């Protein structure tokens, strides 16, 4: 892919993002801060629409490759964009996610696998999409983390094993760079919105599953380890506190750092990027290719992250009424 073509894609996507800002401003597609927000200013929502537009552009320009993936991406993006404007019921949203992921699996020829692997795959992919969506809460974190994962995948595709179309992968990276220009700053010009975080998750999982299938190495799911640890431990503590895990909140670890510890959004986002980069380097160079090593890595990482959260946030903050009840009972 020539530098000229890359430049054209970058300019076109940059112009499209600016055009979207005018449309969003005209039709009041904005994010109003509330008690769950980590921001205080009214900001344009849905800037992440550029991710699906970018890959649609590649699809139309390069021989209509991956039609079922693109169909699933457009479906999940459209539903998420509508949800950014007008709330869609959880039932309808999950149905659309299921259809979109089913199209993704068809594109990857996964229906030749045993039924239980398909079921586990559906649960994993839909759960991961929603977890990544929930992790989109401060400036820079979605774009920054997305860049780390996509860049790692590009490195593998370029220098280790050819597993996907490099055009799709490079343009996906360009779209995240364009979005990050407007979001990765102290006062963000726009937020990704559900359309951005959900579509980016769908795109990342497409490339990630391609790599796993090509290499028969499931270890590569650890490219999402830090997000997974934050999401899973947050759900764990919310269940202990007897909260509704489906309700919006701001109790992720990155939100604690940004809101309670008052650390800059950009610093927190860079921290998450840096940690995941280190993890990715270790995975590529040192992690043995075995299910046992994968499970040990996940369990050990979970325990370490759990202890770290308890150390930073404290039992009372994480366990709430549960901690108070246990303390009273012991007394």
Q: pLDDT value at position 33?
A: 60
- CA 104/CA 101 separation, integer angstroms: 5
**Cα angle value 109/113/114 (rounded, 5°):** 155
Per-residue pLDDT of the chain (331 residues; tens, 9 = 90+): 678 888 999 999 999 999 999 999 888 888 766 545 455 567 899 999 999 999 999 999 998 999 999 999 999 999 999 998 988 888 899 999 999 999 999 999 999 888 988 999 999 999 999 999 989 989 999 999 999 999 999 999 999 999 999 999 999 999 999 999 999 998 899 999 999 999 999 999 999 999 999 999 999 999 999 999 999 999 999 999 888 877 778 899 999 999 999 999 999 999 999 999 999 999 999 988 888 999 999 999 999 999 999 999 999 889 875 544 344 344 3
- CA 84/CA 1 separation, integer angstroms: 34
| Those residues with Cβ within 8 angstroms of residue 148's Cβ, 6 or more apart along the chain or in another chain | 273, 276, 277, 280
Residues spanned by the domain of 8: 3-330
Q: pLDDT value at position 38?
A: 52
Q: pLDDT value at position 331?
A: 38
Nearest to 140 by CA among 82, 83, 201, 197: 197
Q: Are 24 and 46 in contact (CB under 8 A)?
A: yes
Q: Would you say the C-alpha torsion 143, 148, 150, 151 has a positive or negative sign?
A: positive
Q: Are 267 and 261 in contact (CB under 8 A)?
A: no
Q: pLDDT value at position 36?
A: 52
Nearest to 258 by CA among 37, 9, 24, 94: 37
| Those residues with Cβ within 8 angstroms of residue 85's Cβ, 6 or more apart along the chain or in another chain | 29
Domain count, the chain: 1
pTM score, two decimals? 0.92
Residue with tokens 């590649």: 58
Q: pLDDT value at position 41?
A: 65
Q: pLDDT value at position 30?
A: 84
- CA 58/CA 121 separation, integer angstroms: 27
Q: pLDDT value at position 119?
A: 92
Tokens of 307: 């202890």
C-alpha dihedral, 110 to 219 to 74 to 191, nearest 10°: 170
Q: pLDDT value at position 326?
A: 40
Q: pLDDT value at position 245?
A: 79
């Amino acid at each position: 892919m020539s530098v000229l073509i890359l430049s054209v894609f970058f300019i076109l996507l940059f112009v499209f993002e600016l055009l979207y800002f005018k449309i969003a401003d005209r039709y009041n597609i904005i994010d109003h801060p509330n008690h769950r927000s980590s921001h205080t200013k009214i900001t344009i929502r849905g800037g992440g629409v550029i991710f699906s537009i970018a890959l649609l552009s590649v699809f139309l320009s390069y021989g209509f490759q991956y039609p079922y993936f693109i169909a699933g991406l457009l479906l999940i993006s459209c539903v998420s964009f509508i949800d950014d404007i007008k709330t869609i019921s959880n039932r309808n949203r999950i149905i659309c996610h299921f259809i979109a992921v089913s199209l993704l699996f068809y594109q990857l020829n996964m229906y030749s696998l045993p039924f239980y692997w398909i079921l586990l795959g559906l649960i994993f992919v839909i759960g991961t999409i929603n977890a990544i969506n929930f992790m989109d809460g401060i400036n820079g974190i979605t774009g920054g983390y997305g860049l780390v994962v996509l860049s790692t995948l590009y490195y593998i595709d370029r220098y280790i094993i050819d597993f996907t179309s490099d055009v799709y992968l490079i343009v996906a990276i360009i779209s995240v760079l364009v979005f990050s220009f407007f979001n990765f700053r102290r006062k963000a010009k726009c937020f990704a919105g559900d359309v951005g975080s959900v579509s980016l998750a769908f795109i990342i999982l497409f490339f990630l599953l391609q790599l796993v299938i090509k290499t028969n190495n499931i270890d590569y799911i650890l490219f999402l380890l830090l997000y997974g640890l934050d999401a899973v431990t947050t759900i764990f503590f919310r269940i202990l506190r007897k909260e509704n895990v489906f309700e919006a909140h701001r109790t992720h670890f990155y939100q604690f750092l940004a809101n309670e510890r008052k650390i800059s959004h950009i610093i927190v986002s860079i921290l998450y990027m840096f940690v995941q980069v280190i993890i990715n380097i270790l995975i590529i160079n040192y992690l043995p290719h075995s299910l046992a090593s994968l499970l040990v890595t996940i369990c050990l990482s979970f325990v370490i992250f759990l202890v770290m959260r308890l150390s930073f946030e404290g039992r009372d903050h994480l366990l709430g009424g549960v901690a108070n009840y246990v303390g009273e009972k012991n007394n």
